[in-house]
A and B are shown apart, each in its own frame.
Chain A
Amino acid sequence: MRDSGGMGANGTDILTAGMTNDVVPWVDDLIAVRDARDEGAFIRVFGHFGPRVKAFLMRTGMDAALAEECAQEVLVTVWNKAHLYDATRASPSTWIFTIARNKKIDVLRKQRRPEPEDLPWGPESEPDQEAVIGLQQESEKLGRALRDLPEKQRELIEKAYFGDLSHSEIADQTGLPLGTIKSRIRLALERLRHSMK
């Protein structure tokens, strides 16, 4: 369920109700994996994110067999690095995206990826529930904003993240000069930013 109607209207209701999957999908499950090594929760995370990670990796240029294998490894990493998941800093989708992206760099570019220092990305002693809810609500809002974009604009943003857009492909797909594509992406991002306000 992604329905979050009225979700932001009364934050305290959400806080007292706890984080249900209705409000912040997958946070509970990921935290159960992190704190309780809950395999049932992991299987649910696998069921939701496995097919998405596989599709993402195929879009970045892997064939189905390689994408399948890498998606499995990404999910194993989710299990192994669950102790690094911090719900005040990333939604489950965002966190799993970064793992899938690093797998892509590792496999397709054969490079390691330098990461910024610190990331006390580990769980804090006193998890701030309000910060968790706030971040997850913003993530939901961003997801809705992305879905609400006109299709062409959404596709361009997706392609930027999949990295599957080359000069010639741009020309082939749209027949537009690069300058126009550039303005379109800027417009898409500005709309996205605007709808986040």
Chain B
Amino acid sequence: MTVKHHLTDDLLMAYSAGDLPEAVNLIVATHISLCDECRAALGSYDAVGGAVLDTCTTVEMSKASLNTVLDMIHAQDTQVQDKPVSTRIKDDVLPAPLIDYVGGGLENVRWRSAGMGVKQAILPTSKDATARLLYIPAGTAIPDHGHSGLELTLVLKGAFQDEGGYFGRGDIEVASEDLNHTPVADISEDCICLAVTDAPLKFKGLVPRIAQPFLGI
């Protein structure tokens, strides 16, 4: 299975710069978990960040600073091992970043009915954008739903089709508010997606607003 629909470069760059709402970071991290092409592109944007750090001006640290830091590492000199939930749980549908937000695998998702057999579960992120898991029964159409800003939809299981094309596992649709679309879940199996919407004008920073794909570096 190969990913055909990717993140835009402006989203990758803003993720690298740390300039996106938490829910958008979550869907970017989840897509990258499934897409080596975007993972590599992110690496190049991180490298730009490293080059910026290297070439920018410096501000002297206080004299006591080094000793403070050495005291801190002496006080706790054991290598810190991160053990998020996702290192203990594997799930066929949910990549690690989602396991952390669900608090477990797919069976731990607390679905709520959204009508027409569609279910949703809103994930706990900061309020400047919303991340939800959607469960869409096979063959069901989601009527065109107004959204006032950016809408990102990442397929985790099954597939859907809309005016933008056919989206399978790992594919992400980046829809701006002017896109009229009516996603229909593929008939062959139920579809599970991660969908992220931002409230209007909630993005901070320059890059997401520009919303034009840069060529990859």
Contact = CB atoms under 8 A, between A and B. Distances in A.
Interface of A: 37, 39, 42-43, 46-47, 49-56, 58-59, 64, 67-68, 71-72, 75-76, 79-83, 89-98, 100-102, 104-105, 109-118, 138-139, 142-143, 145-147, 154, 157-163, 165-167, 170, 178, 181-182, 185-186, 189-190, 192-193, 196
A55 B206 contact: no
B55 A143 contact: yes
A117 B96 contact: yes
A157 B59 contact: no
B190 interface: no
A132 to B, nearest CB: 14
B204 interface: yes
Main secondary structure of the interface of A (DSSP, over half): helix
Contacts of A165: 205-206
Given A56-B56, A68-B65, A98-B49, A114 B205 contact: no
A186 to B, nearest CB: 6
A94 B46 contact: yes
Interface of B: 13, 16-19, 22, 25-26, 28-30, 32-33, 39, 42-43, 46-62, 65-66, 68-70, 72-73, 76-77, 79-80, 86, 95-97, 100-101, 125-126, 204-207, 209-210, 212, 214-217
B96 A52 contact: no
13 contacts: A51-B59, A52-B56, A90-B43, A93-B50, A93-B51, A101-B16, A113-B18, A116-B30, A116-B42, A117-B96, A159-B206, A161-B17, A161-B52
Given A81-B80, A160-B207, A114 B100 contact: yes
**Top-6 shortest CB links A-B:** A94-B50, A117-B96, A51-B58, A117-B33, A93-B50, A116-B32
Nearest to A164: B205
Given A113-B25, A189-B214, A43 B61 contact: no
A42 B74 CA distance: 12
A90 B34 CA distance: 20
Given A113-B25, A189-B215, 4 more contacts: A43-B70, A50-B61, A145-B51, A159-B206
